[in-house]
Structure 1
Amino acid sequence: MDFKNKVVIITGASSGIGTATALMFANQSAKVVLVGRNEKALQDVAKKCETSKGIKPLIVKAELSVDDDLKNIIDQTINVYGRIDVLVNNAGVGVQGSIRDGIEPYDRVMSTNVRAVYYLTSLATPYLVKTKGNIVNVSSVAAFKPIRDMNFLPYCTSKAALDQITKCVAAELGRDGVRVNSVNPGATRTPFAQAAGLTLEQQNELYKAREQTLPLGKMAESEDVADLILYLASDRAKSITGSIYVIDNGEILL
Structure 2
Amino acid sequence: MSEFASKVVVITGASSGIGAATAKELSKQGALLSLTGRNEERLAQVVDECKKLGAKDVIQVVGDVSKQEDLERIIKETADKFGEIHVLVNNAGLGLVVPIATFTLDQFDRCFNVNVRAALYLTKLALPYLEKTKGNIVNISSTGSTTYAFPGCCIYNGAKAACDHITKAAALELAKSGIRVNAVNPAGVETNFAVSAGLTEEQSKALYAQQAKLHPLNERNIKVEEVVDAILFLASDKATMITGSCLRVDGGRALTGQ
TM-score interval for Structure 1 and Structure 2 normalised by the shorter chain? over 0.9
Whether the 8 Å CA contact 2:15–2:42 is kept in 1: the answer is yes
Match of 2:236 among 226, 234, 241: 234
Shift of 1:151: 1.0
Shift of 1:54: 5.1
Whether the 8 Å CA contact 2:8–2:82 is kept in 1: the answer is yes
What RMSD in Å do the two structures reach over aligned CA positions? Answer: 1.2
TM-score, reference length from structure 2: 0.95
Task: State the match for 1:62 in structure 2.
Answer: 63
Shift of 1:98: 3.0
Please tell me the residue identity of whatever aligns with 1:97: V
Q: How far apart in 1 are the matches of 2:243 and 2:140?
A: 14
Task: State the match for 1:245 in structure 2.
Answer: 247
Aligned residues: 253
Shift of 1:205: 1.1
Match of 1:143 among 132, 142, 145: 145
Identity %: 46
Task: State the match for 2:181 in structure 1.
Answer: 180
Match of 2:123 among 99, 121, 124: 121
Q: How far apart in 1 are the matches of 2:152 and 2:147?
A: 12
Task: State the match for 2:203 in structure 1.
Answer: 202
Secondary structure of 1:110's counterpart equals helix
Q: How far apart in 2 are the matches of 1:64 and 1:189?
A: 23
Secondary structure of 1:227's counterpart equals helix
Whether the 8 Å CA contact 2:184–2:230 is kept in 1: the answer is yes
Whether the 8 Å CA contact 2:187–2:222 is kept in 1: the answer is yes
Q: How far apart in 2 are the matches of 1:54 and 1:181?
A: 24
- Indicate the larger mover: 7-16 or 211-220: 211-220
Q: How far apart in 1 are the matches of 2:83 and 2:57?
A: 16
Shift of 1:2: 2.2
Task: State the match for 1:7 in structure 2.
Answer: 8
- Give unmatched runs, 5+ long, in structure 2: none
User: What CA deviation, in whole Å up to 9, does each residue of 1:115-156 have, x standing for no partner?
Assistant: 1111111101111001100000000001103432x4111100
User: What CA deviation, in whole Å up to 9, does each residue of 1:158-196 have, x standing for no partner?
Assistant: 010011110111111111110000000000011100111
Secondary structure of 2:147's counterpart equals coil
Secondary structure of 1:158's counterpart equals helix
Task: State the match for 1:131 in structure 2.
Answer: 133
Shift of 1:9: 0.2
Whether the 8 Å CA contact 1:145–1:156 is kept in 2: the answer is no
Secondary structure of 1:88's counterpart equals strand
Give the 5 Å matches for 1:44-83: 44-53=45-54, 55-83=56-84
Shift of 1:44: 0.7
Shift of 1:97: 2.2
Regions of 4+ moved over 4 Å: none
Task: State the match for 2:29 in structure 1.
Answer: 28
Shift of 1:222: 1.1
Whether the 8 Å CA contact 1:96–1:105 is kept in 2: the answer is no
Q: How far apart in 1 are the matches of 2:27 and 2:58?
A: 8
Q: How far apart in 1 are the matches of 2:182 and 2:11?
A: 15
Shift of 1:56: 3.2
User: What CA deviation, in whole Å up to 9, does each residue of 1:213-239 have, x standing for no partner?
Assistant: 321211011111011100110111111
Whether the 8 Å CA contact 1:146–1:152 is kept in 2: the answer is no
Please tell me the residue identity of whatever aligns with 1:27: K
User: What CA deviation, in whole Å up to 9, does each residue of 1:84-138 have, x standing for no partner?
Assistant: 0000000010111233234332212011111111111110111100110000000
Task: State the match for 1:103 in structure 2.
Answer: 105
Q: How far apart in 2 are the matches of 1:79 and 1:191?
A: 32
Distance 1:107 1:215, change over 3 A: same
User: What CA deviation, in whole Å up to 9, does each residue of 1:64-94 have, x standing for no partner?
Assistant: 1111110100110010000000000000101
